[in-house]
Amino acid sequence: MARKTKAEAAATREALLDAAEDIFLEKGVARTSLEQIARHAGMTRGAVYWHFKNKCDLFQAMLLRVRMPFEELAEEANNSGLANDPLSAIREACRQGFSRLEQPRYQRVHAILIHHCEVFGDIDPLAMQNEIAEETLVALTGYFAHAADMGLLRQGLSSEIAAGLFQSMLGGLFHDWLRNHQRFSLIERGTALVDAQLSLMRA
Amino acid sequence: MARKTKAEAAATREALLDAAEDIFLEKGVARTSLEQIARHAGMTRGAVYWHFKNKCDLFQAMLLRVRMPFEELAEEANNSGLANDPLSAIREACRQGFSRLEQPRYQRVHAILIHHCEVFGDIDPLAMQNEIAEETLVALTGYFAHAADMGLLRQGLSSEIAAGLFQSMLGGLFHDWLRNHQRFSLIERGTALVDAQLSLMRA
DNA sequence: AAGAATACATACACGAGTGTATGGAAAGTG
DNA sequence: CACTTTCCATACACTCGTGTATGTATTCTT
């Protein structure tokens, strides 16, 4: 085969990553070969080994195309100027995260990470999930503590328990939705649950 | 090798399943070979292929040694004579499930099912999780509807939303705990969260 | 415009894992 | 006490996937 222009080469690289998303999601990471990925992108294994060192490298490249939603959730919660209303800040951060995850690429990659890959090379999805969960819990605890100081929380509800309840609820919702996203809309059901939970927690 | 007595043969079968639990949990299902399982049990692959048809059959046999806690959770919640207090019935059913899952074998097998195996042969772990989640949601909806009829729920809180919140919270808690169970006690944290959530929901 | 680098396709060697076939010694069975 | 069956080890053939080496037409460089 002949050499292609730089733009074409970049396009085949993206096509390989797209194909990897498709087949990883369908068959799981461990059960898919580089041959299957290449064929699904209309290429051969030669293209894969030119653009990526091996399967693990390709997997990492696939992850780099999306950012973790919870990280952005924490970021955007900090950036939102609602520091005087921490509970509303939590709500808006959740809605931001929901709409991010509804984008097909985000949804597919996260579904692969959480439900379709095992420990794999030097990538440990469970460790990544643990980090994300811990970050989320810390961020939520801060916001609920702030809310408690302002007297916004129902009496008898500590900020630690509130943060734990909220984080578990969010995690369960994400797992449910990623398992089969066509059953319900994440934004609709997510905001309904978030609003209900915050309403229960408000003084 | 020589033939062993029936009891000894059954013991080696259990030893093979124990070894499978260990290595599946450590390395993931896809990355473990039958050779590794056999060696970890002090046997060879001949023993594995005598007791099981293949890897998928061994996996199913491993699953059969534990039963789904949610099914039994619902059963025992029905059997408990707390029909006049649905919220307390939910609490007790959850505590039953927590103590079940704290048993090492239950914890290990469920951690494997949820976090350490992909789609695999004719076994689809995600489908199993979907079934369990659906059953749980239906059961919870029934109990919360009963509670709503009795006026036990806070006004403005529908039984569907209450069930959704509770199921997501339970699911998130399970995923968190199964990811690394040494971080906290499921019974302690679980009952704390369940009590807090039910307290928020009570009228 | 000529050499060098690029972007793949093709071909090959290699190991790892699987499934099966065979062997054999002890346990059950009558 | 023969005789069959059981329980497992060993050995072999086979497939699948990987990694690398090589070829090659084209694009980029100067």
CATH at A46: 1.10.10.60
B58-81 mean pLDDT? 73
- Is residue A192 situated within a structural domain? yes
Kindly indicate the confidence band of residue A73, based on its pLDDT and cuts at 50, 70 and 90. Answer: low
Same domain for A38 and A74?
A: no
Distance of CA B72 to the CA centre of its chain: 10
At A69, is the secondary structure helix, strand, or coil? helix
Domain final residue, candidates A64, A82, A111: A64
- Is residue B1 situated within a structural domain? no
CB of B170 less than 8 A from some CB of A = yes
Q: What is the pLDDT of residue B57?
A: 96
Kindly indicate the confidence band of residue A72, based on its pLDDT and cuts at 50, 70 and 90. Answer: low
Residues of B in contact with A173 (CB under 8 A): 168, 172
Q: What domain range is B96 assigned to? A: 69-201
Please answer whether residues B17 and B61 qualify as being in contact, where contact means their C-beta atoms are separated by less than 8 angstroms.
Answer: yes
DSSP structural state of residue A154: P
Same domain for A135 and A49?
A: no
What are the b/e assignments for A79-95, b being 16+ CB within 10 Å?
ebebeebbbebbbbbbb
Please count the other Cβ atoms lying within 10 Å of the Cβ belonging to residue A128: 14
Same domain for B103 and B41?
A: no
CB contact under 8 Å between A176 and B133, yes or no, is yes
Please count the other Cβ atoms lying within 10 Å of the Cβ belonging to residue B193: 20
Q: What is the pLDDT of residue A112?
A: 95
Nucleotides of D under 7 A from a protein CB: 5-11, 16-21, 23-28
Calculate the angstrom distance between C1' of D7 and CA of B45.
13
| Amino acid (one-letter) located at B37 | I
Domain final residue, candidates A64, A79, A96: A64
User: How long, in residues, is chain A?
Assistant: 203
Q: What is the pLDDT of residue B81?
A: 61
Give the residue with minimal CA–C1' separation from D16.
A33
- Is residue A18 situated within a structural domain? yes
Matching residue, tokens 């705990």:
B177
Domain final residue, candidates A64, A82, A109: A64
**Nearest nucleic acid nucleotide to A51, CA to C1' distance:** C7
Give the residue with minimal CA–C1' separation from C20.
B49
CB of B44 less than 8 A from some CB of A = no
CATH number of the CATH domain containing A113: 1.10.357.10
- Is residue A1 situated within a structural domain? no
Calculate the angstrom distance between C1' of C17 and CA of B34.
9
Structure tokens at B14: 């259990």
**What stretch of H or E contains B68?**
none
The segment with the largest mean pLDDT, out of A53-67, A95-109, B121-135, B164-178, is: B164-178
Nearest-Cα residue of chain A relative to residue B128: A179
Same domain for A107 and A178?
A: yes
Same domain for B112 and B12?
A: no
